[in-house]
Amino acid sequence: MRRLPRPFFIAVGITCGALCLQDASGAPPTVRQALELKPVQSEVQCDVPTEKDEIDQATIEPISEPGRSGWQVFDGQGRLLRRFVDTNGDKKLDLWSYYQNGIEVYRDVDADFNEKADQYRWLGTGGSRWGQDTNEDGTIDRWHMISPEEVTAEVVAALRDQDVARFKRVLLAPTELKALGLGKARNDELAERIDAAASDFDRFSRARGLVKPTARWIHFGATRPGLLPAGTDGSTRDLLIYDNVAAIVDTEGKHGQVVIGTLVNVGEQAWRVIDLPTGEATGGFYTSIIGRESVGGNVDQGVDRQMQALLTELEKTDQQLSDVKAPSDLARLNRSRADLLEKLAKNSVNQQERETWIRQFADTVSAAFQSGEYPQGVERMRAMLDDLRAGRDSNDLIAFVTFRYQTANYSRDLQAPNADFAKVQEQWLKDLQKFVADFPKSPDAAEAMLQLAIAQEFAGKEDEATLWYGRIAKDFPDLPLSKKAAGARRRLSSVGQAITLQGTSSTGQSVDLASYRGKVVLVHYWATWCEPCKADIEVIKKIQDRLGSRGFTAIGVNLDHTKAAMTEYQRSHGLTWPQLYEAGGLESRLANELGVVTLPTMLLIDKTGRVARRNIHSGELEAEVSRLQK
């Protein structure tokens, strides 16, 4: 059993035994004792003070929150280093959080409260992976959540370490394949491919030496994801995929490219590979192989020396950006990063790769400006846009950069001293309308229309909002956004109408709004990250206590990114009414069916099952429920 020195004991991973918050005398742990505890997963990067003065300046304090207790450790600057929490009041720790630069980057979780960690989560700047350890042996058995970038990093690590189990964790599983709802021919084809990948990985990784033992993953390369709509080749569900995915790796200062192939989304923000990373034409969903040759035995083939130097410099800049906090340093480094991305675009060997770097330039420069980390970002994007237009680049690429430039420009106008917000908003709506007129077929036009629709809805111009929502559904029927827009149209016209709401509650029970006829029902769309939603929940609790016996109930529809966030909040705050959840957050089926675009959203249903109020405020709720009950 791995322990902290007495009087503080904690068990993690496969360990067992008492999980005490303090010893019998009530003495708290010391800072040194708390800092000796390490994450179960060894690859976690978190702050670990080692110098005596750093440890001496750190402090430890008790956690005193409703339904929670434990300890938290702060460094000399008041930033969190560790949090060890008992979330269910049984006097045993079940949540261990680790921080870097004051941001939580990882946690070990004992979700079933049996004194063994069974979930491992990377957070904040640490990434977005969420691993499940079914047998609680300290080894991840499946990825509940993992981004495309992190999947490619896992493939590189599996090749490097010749670790077949690690590769299989990101390989599409037979049960996941079945759930995709593909037509028989495509399903059978993929079944053969994933079976071959699983059985051949060990031999392949040893024979090819595609990634050397000293290699490190540094970048993810792909164009935008694509949607394979339901009905294609007999499929029954939309399928989100990345085709032509590659990973850039560093091997002792030399950079190379490993072709990953196709990634498919399996829900809950999780992605999977379907092939061995051979670089050979395996037949992806759109195209099977990226234009450049894959690396063979040497990891530096296929990338010339100039590109290697640029990629090395980009990696260094990204590392520096993750470490610095001074605004002047952030601006300088973001400017350097923009320079490097432009040079990488200029030195690309084909148009597809060039556009990938330009898109990354537009995304990152726009985001850096809006976060205040690159004040000159708008001018930089304007210059890039002028170059693209002068060079007669593709309309799709110009549209992509234009939309991000306009978004950054809008942010700048809002942040200007003495900004006239009404005029800024008026100009923004004009810019959005012009973008739609100039680039009507761009996927970003659908996003522009959504912004227009939301603005008009909030302004009370519901007829205009309905027109924009309708246009999205008509012009972009294959985009996921189309379902959101169609749902929003239904919501805007729902008063006096019966609506459909069906799903599975957090306890596994089927919930159907139609079965609640004869009761007044509040449908509450919420998430744990939404503070007004939490305030509404407290109001709903009181109304449930006072009016529940007279035929009132609520149905919660949670739109968190993870079910665990919802169930933890439900348990700790004693929510007694049904809570529906499906993966996808604001883009889930439950949100899209009525086009929910902001939280909280509450609909009040009368005894006949018809919508009485489709946008009721919690302050009006009790009086309106009482009226409907009469």
Long-range contact pairs involving 331-340 (C-beta distance under 8 Å, separation at least 24): 331/373, 331/374, 331/375, 331/376, 334/364, 334/365, 334/368, 334/373, 334/374, 334/377, 335/374, 335/376, 335/380, 337/364, 338/364, 338/365, 338/374, 338/377, 338/380, 340/310, 340/313, 340/314
Domain limits at 138? Answer: 31-143
Confirm if 256 and 218 have CB atoms less than 8 A apart.
Answer: no
User: H/E element holding 243?
Assistant: strand 239-251
Looking at residue 393, its pLDDT comes to 81
Lowest mean pLDDT across 72-86, 297-311, 396-410: 297-311
Are residues 254 and 184 part of one domain? yes
Residue where one domain finishes, among candidates 122, 143, 164:
143
Looking at residue 290, its pLDDT comes to 32
Instruction: Examine the pLDDT at 117 and tell me if it is beyond 90.
Output: yes
Using DSSP, state whether 604 is helix, strand or coil.
Answer: strand
Are residues 110 and 86 part of one domain? yes
Instruction: Examine the pLDDT at 289 and tell me if it is beyond 50.
Output: no
Confirm if 115 and 132 have CB atoms less than 8 A apart.
Answer: no
Query: Which single residue is written with the structure tokens 């992806």?
Result: 284
**What are the distances in angstroms from CA 310 to CA 131, 283, 318, 339?**
34, 31, 12, 10
| d(C-alpha 187, C-alpha 232), whole Å | 12
Query: Is 138 domain-assigned?
Result: yes
**What are the distances in angstroms from CA 215 to CA 303, 462, 584?**
15, 56, 34
Query: Is 297 domain-assigned?
Result: no
Looking at residue 280, its pLDDT comes to 45
- Tokens read off for 189: 């084809």
User: H/E element holding 72?
Assistant: strand 68-74
Lowest mean pLDDT across 121-130, 206-215, 575-584: 206-215
Looking at residue 207, its pLDDT comes to 65
Query: Is 440 domain-assigned?
Result: no
Query: Is 562 domain-assigned?
Result: yes
Are residues 178 and 124 part of one domain? no
Are residues 201 and 108 part of one domain? no
Residue where one domain finishes, among candidates 143, 168, 186:
143
Query: Is 172 domain-assigned?
Result: yes
Are residues 536 and 557 part of one domain? yes
What are the tens digits of pLDDT across the range 220-247?
877 778 888 777 778 888 889 988 788 8
Residues of the chain with pLDDT > 90, as a percent, come to 53
Are residues 123 and 86 part of one domain? yes
In CATH, what number is assigned to the domain containing residue 541? 3.40.30.10
Are residues 224 and 157 part of one domain? yes
> From the CA atom positions of the chain, what is the Rg in Å?
27
Residues of the chain with pLDDT > 70, as a percent, come to 91
Are residues 565 and 546 part of one domain? yes
Query: Is 554 domain-assigned?
Result: yes
Count of structural domains, the chain: 3
Query: Is 123 domain-assigned?
Result: yes
| d(C-alpha 483, C-alpha 476), whole Å | 10
- Tokens read off for 119: 């979930």
Mean pLDDT for all residues in the chain: 86
Query: Is 384 domain-assigned?
Result: no
Are residues 155 and 139 part of one domain? no
Are residues 155 and 136 part of one domain? no
| 386 class by beta-carbon count within 10 Å (0-12 exposed, 13-18 middle, 19+ buried) | exposed
Are residues 509 and 572 part of one domain? yes
Confirm if 540 and 619 have CB atoms less than 8 A apart.
Answer: no
| d(C-alpha 603, C-alpha 335), whole Å | 47
